[in-house]
Amino acid sequence: MSCLARVCATGPVWSFGPFRLDAAGQALFDGEQRVRLGARAFGILLALVEQAGEMVPRDVLVARVWPGLFVDDSTLRVHVAALRKVLGYNEGERRYIVNIPGRGYVFAAPVQRLDMPGEAPTPARAAPSGLPPPLGRMIGRGETLHDLVARMGECRLLTIAGPGGMGKTTLALAVAGALAARGGGEAHFLDLAALPEQGQLPAAIARMLDVPWPSGELRDLVAALRGRRLLLVLDNCEHVVDAAAALAEALLAGLPELRLLATSREPLRAAGEWVHRLAPLGLPPGGGAMAGRPTAAEALAYPALQLFHERAAASLDGFTLGDAEAPLAAAICRRLEGIPLAIELAAAQLPFLGLAGLAAGLDDSLSALTRGRRAAVPRHRTLRATLDWSHALLEPREQVLLRRLSVFRGFFTLAAAQEVAGEPGAPRTAMMDGLASLAAKSLLAVDIGGDAPRYRLLAMTREHAAEKLAASGEEPAVAARHARHCAALLADLEADRAALPRHAWLAQYGGWIHDVRAALHRCFAPGGDAQTGITLAAVSAPLWFELSLVEELRDHAARALARLPGTPLEGGAVEMSLCLSAGLAMFETRGPGAELTALSTRALALAERHGSLPHQLRALWALVRESYALGEYQVTRRHCERFAAVMATMGEDVCAAMRDRMLGLGLQLVGRTVEALHFTTRSVERPARVIRLAHGSFHPHDNRVMARAHLARLLWMQGQPDTAAAVAEESVALALSLGYPSLLCDTLCFAAFPVACWNGDHAAAARHVALLVEHSADLGFRYWDSWRRLYEPVVAFGQAGPAERAALAARIRALPMSAAQADLLATFHPLLGTELARGRAAGEARSWCAPEVLRGEALALRQGGAEEAAEAMLRRALRIARAQGAPGWELRVVTSLAEPSPAVPRGAAQEALEALASLRARFTEGARTADLCRADALLAAG
C-alpha cells in the first residue's frame, strides 16, 4: 500500500492538480510526497477546497480556523501566502487560491472527491424527506445560501424572486436541505409549474403530504396538518400567485410549526413575507484594463465564469480555461448578464461551436441557446421556452408595454417610457402601474439609487420582447418615437459638457450610447426615419468622442451626410455639426486628407453664412489640425491667425488663453520662436478656470495640456532642455488625469516623445511610446497608431549600437509617413532624415525644423566627401537657427562645425571651438543631455 493510501485510508480525499488532500488524516500530498503544512494553513486549505469555486468570506475562515479568538486580517493573509507558496501554480500557470479584495478567497482549480483504497464506498446521504436531489453543484451562491438559512430562522415565509433561469429552484433546494440537515423538521418540495389551475393548489399540498382531505375545506387541511413540523418548498408560484398567497397565509396562521419557502417571478405579497431578489451571478467588470484582458485566475474569481468553466468542461472533455481563452469567456458571460441558465445552455454549445463561434453566435442568443438537459423541464431546455413561459403569464396590456420597452437598450426613466411606450393621452399613473407590475414580475431591473427610479430589461428578456414587437407591426412607430426621444434628450449634450464635471456628464449621458446606436441603426435601415437619424447623429457626436467610439461615429456621420441632401436640414446647424464631427472622426481614424479638408472648409463656409462664431472656431481649428499634420506650416499659421481674430471678437476673459496658444503655435511652426514663446507662455499663465471654459465651449482639446505641450517644444529650442522635459511630463500627467485618449496621444506625439529624443533620454522615450500604445492601439485611433508604428522603431534605434543603426535607420525611413512625421523624424538623428524632409527644408527655410534637417543633410554630404558643400550647408543652417532664435538647434550646428575634419583648416576649427564655448556658456541646464555632453567632450578634447 502506498504512503498516501496508508495515511488516508480512514476518510475521503480531495484531488486537485498533482495534490491530494486527506481531510481525516490532516495531510496534503504532492504525488507520493507529504507536504509539510501547519495546522492553521491546513484548516484554511480544507475550508476552501470543500467549497471550491465559491467565495469563502474572510470572517468564515477566521471563525473556522481560530474559533473564539480575535485574529486580524494580516494573520490570515500570512497563512494564505504560505499556502500559495506551497501550492505554486497549476498547469494553466494561475494560482489555486484567488483573493477577492475586501471579501474573501476562492479555490479556483477544479476539485474531485475520491473514495479511498481499502474502504467500502460510502453511500450517498439520502436527500431529506420530500426533497429531490440537487441537479448539480451550486456555484456562486454560498453567501446567499448562508444568509437565507439564517433568515429562515427569523421569518416563516421567504420568497426567492427573480426572472426565469436565475437559479431560484437550485437555491431553494439548497436552503431547504441545509435547514433539514439541522433538524428543521419534515422538508417537502412541490413544483407548481404543472398545476393547471389555481384552485387545485390545496389538493396538491394534501397529496404531497399524504393527508386525507375528503371535505375539500381549507380549515380541514389545516387541522389535518396540525402538530407536524413542516418545511414546504413551493416552486414556480408565478402562474398561481394569488392562490399561493392565500394558501400561505391560511397555513401559516393555523400551523405555528410551519415554514414556507417559495420561488416565483414575483413576490406573493402575503402577510409576513420576506422577499429575496436573486441577482445574476457575479461577472468581471465590463470596463478598465483588467476587463479587457483578464487572466484565467482573475476571471475564475467570479461565479459566472466558474459556472461556465465547470459546465464547459463537462460538455467538452479536456476543456481548460487558460489566459488566452479567459477574455472571450468573460465577454460571453457578460453578454449573457450572468444568468445561470443562459450560461449553462451556452456552455453546452461549446463542442459544436468552439469558444469564438459561441461568442459570435450569441448575436442571436435566443436561437443559439437551445441545448439544455434532456431531463430538464421543457421550459428550461431552451432560453426561448423559459421566456415564452414568462410572457404567457402576462396580462395583454403588460405584454404590449413589455414589447414596446424593448426598443430601450440601457436604463430608462418613467418619463422616457411614457414618451416612447405609452398610449397617447394615457395618464402618467398608468405607466407607473405598468412598470411596477413588470418589475414585480422580475421582467424589469430597477435602480433606485439616483434622484428618480431607472428601469432596464435584461438582455434576454429584451430580445424576446423585441421579437414580439416586430411581429406586432408596431415596431416602426415605436422605433421612431424612441429615436426622437434620444435626439431630444441629447440636444443639450454640448452645453452640459461645458457646465458639468466630466464624471457627472458621463454619469448622466454615458449609458444612452447603446440606445443611440440602436436608434441610428433603425433610422438608416430601409423604411426608417432618416431625418431623425441625421439629427441624432449630429447631436450625439460628443458622446461618441467621450467614450472613444470614434470609428462608429465616423461611420454614422458619413451615413448621415449621405442622406442629408434634399432634406430640410441641409445647409443648417445640423450639417455644420456633422461636417465637423465627421471630419474629426476621420482625422482620428485615418489621418489628414482631401476629403477631410473639404468637410472642414464646408463647415467654415456654413458657419460664416449663419454667423455662428463657435462653429467658425471649430472649423478653423480643424483646418489648423489638418494643415499642421500635412506639414503645411504657412497655411497653418494663416488659419491660426484667423482663429485668433474670430476669438478676439468673443471677449477677453473667455478667449485670451486659447487665442494666445493658437498664435504661438502658428508662429512656432514657421520658425518665429521668440514671438511664439511670448504668446505660449502667456497662454499657460492664464487662470485654469478660464482655460477650462474655453475648452468646453470650443474644441475637444484642453488648453492647459496643449499649451504646455507647445511650450515644452519652444523651451527646448530656446536652450532649456531640462525645463522642457519637466513641462512635457506635466502636460502628459494632465492629459492622463483628464482621461481623453486623443488629447494624451497628441501631447505624447508632438511634445513628450520629441523632447525625450532631443535630450537623448531613451528611457523616457520608451515610456512615452508605451503610453501611446496603451491609449491608441485598441480604441480605433488609427491616426495615432501610425505614430506608434513610427516611434517604436525609433526607440529601438536610440538604444541600438552604432553597428546596428544604419540598417535600422533604413527600415525606419522606408515606413509610410506624412510630411509632419518626416519633419519630426529628421530631428531625432541625422540618419533618420528622409528625402521628403530634406527637400521640404531646402525649399522652405522658415520651417521650425529647417536648421536641424539641413544639418543632417550636411553631415551626409561630409560623409560622402563633399566637405565644401557640407560646410556651406552647415553655415546656412546656422544662419537660420540664429534668425529663429533657437539656441537648441544652434548648439547642434555649431557642434558639427567644431567636429574635427581633415578638410577644415586649423584656424577655422579653432574659431568653431571658440564659438561652441561661447554658445555653451549660455546654457544653464541640461548638462546630462546628449547634445551638451557631446559639446563638452569636444571642448575638453580641443
Q: Report d(CA 636, CA 667) in Å as an integer.
A: 9
Q: What is the pLDDT at residue 121?
A: 34
pLDDT mean over 100-113: 76
Confidence band (pLDDT; 50, 70, 90) for 117? very low
Confidence band (pLDDT; 50, 70, 90) for 295? confident
Q: What is the pLDDT at residue 10?
A: 42
Exposure letters 840-878 (e unless 16+ CB within 10 A, then b) = bbeeebebbbbbbbbbbbbbbbbeeeeeeebbebbebbb
> DSSP character for 123?
P
Q: What is the pLDDT at residue 11?
A: 52
Looking at per-residue pLDDT, the higher value among 221 and 942 belongs to 221
pLDDT mean over 173-179: 88
Range picked from 270-274, 338-342, 460-464 for highest mean pLDDT = 270-274
CATH class of 394-407+416-469: mainly alpha
Q: What is the pLDDT at residue 652?
A: 60
Q: What is the pLDDT at residue 388?
A: 78
- By mean pLDDT, which of 40-54, 668-682, 819-833 is the weakest? 40-54
Per the prediction, the chain carries an average pLDDT of 84
Residue 879 predicted with pLDDT over 70 = yes
194's CB contacts (< 8 A; 6+ apart) are: none
Residue 695 predicted with pLDDT over 50 = no
Could you tell me what percent of the chain has a pLDDT over 70? 87
126's CB contacts (< 8 A; 6+ apart) are: none
Exposure letters 642-677 (e unless 16+ CB within 10 A, then b) = bbbebbeebeeeebbbbbbbbbbbbbbbbbbbeebb
Strand partners, 95: 89
- By mean pLDDT, which of 123-127, 164-168, 402-406, 916-920 is the weakest? 123-127
- Cβ atoms of 458 and 337 within 8 Å: the answer is yes
CATH of domain 142-277: 3.40.50.300
CATH of domain 3-114: 1.10.10.10
Looking at per-residue pLDDT, the higher value among 175 and 507 belongs to 175
Per-residue pLDDT tens over the stretch 47-83: 888 888 777 888 788 878 877 666 667 678 778 877 8
Confidence band (pLDDT; 50, 70, 90) for 245? very high
Residue 911 predicted with pLDDT over 70 = yes
Q: Report d(CA 233, CA 54) in Å as an integer.
A: 24
Residue 43 predicted with pLDDT over 80 = yes
- By mean pLDDT, which of 244-253, 689-698, 921-930 is the weakest? 689-698
Confidence band (pLDDT; 50, 70, 90) for 873? very high
Q: Report d(CA 775, CA 197) in Å as an integer.
A: 60
Looking at per-residue pLDDT, the higher value among 543 and 349 belongs to 543
Per-residue pLDDT tens over the stretch 526-542: 989 999 999 999 999 98
Residue 779 predicted with pLDDT over 70 = no
Per-residue pLDDT tens over the stretch 548-605: 788 889 999 999 999 999 999 999 999 999 999 999 888 888 888 888 899 999 999 9
Chain-centre distance for alpha carbon 722: 36
pLDDT mean over 124-131: 48
3-state secondary structure of 464: helix
Q: What is the pLDDT at residue 93?
A: 56
Q: What is the pLDDT at residue 9?
A: 37
Q: What is the pLDDT at residue 406?
A: 92
Q: What is the pLDDT at residue 843?
A: 74
Residue 24 predicted with pLDDT over 80 = no
Q: What is the pLDDT at residue 94?
A: 65
Residue 360 predicted with pLDDT over 80 = no
The CA distances from residue 523 to 137, 244, 394, 549, 796, in Å, are 47, 46, 30, 19, 49
CB atoms within 10 A of CB 125: 9
In the chain, domain spans: 3-114, 142-277, 289-378, 394-407+416-469
pLDDT mean over 735-750: 88
Looking at per-residue pLDDT, the higher value among 882 and 542 belongs to 882
Confidence band (pLDDT; 50, 70, 90) for 366? low
pLDDT mean over 604-612: 93
- Cβ atoms of 47 and 60 within 8 Å: the answer is yes
Residue 937 predicted with pLDDT over 90 = yes
pLDDT mean over 335-360: 80
pLDDT mean over 769-793: 81
Residue 23: what are its φ and ψ, rounded to 5°? -70, -45
Q: What is the pLDDT at residue 722?
A: 97
Range picked from 459-463, 518-522, 837-841 for highest mean pLDDT = 518-522
866's CB contacts (< 8 A; 6+ apart) are: none
Confidence band (pLDDT; 50, 70, 90) for 816? very high
> DSSP character for 492?
G
Looking at per-residue pLDDT, the higher value among 8 and 789 belongs to 789
pLDDT mean over 109-122: 53
Q: Report d(CA 453, CA 234) in Å as an integer.
A: 31
Q: What is the pLDDT at residue 26?
A: 79
CB atoms within 10 A of CB 446: 16
Q: What is the pLDDT at residue 126?
A: 35
Q: What is the pLDDT at residue 91?
A: 55
Residue 274 predicted with pLDDT over 90 = yes
Residue 220 sits at the vertex; the CA angle it makes with 215 and 226, to the nearest 5 degrees, is: 150
40 by Cβ neighbours in 10 Å (0-12 / 13-18 / 19+) ranks as middle
Asked, colleague to colleague, whether 3-114 and 142-277 share their fold, the answer is no
Cα dihedral 315, 317, 320, 326 sign: negative
pLDDT mean over 619-641: 93
Confidence band (pLDDT; 50, 70, 90) for 378? very low
pTM above 0.75, yes or no: no
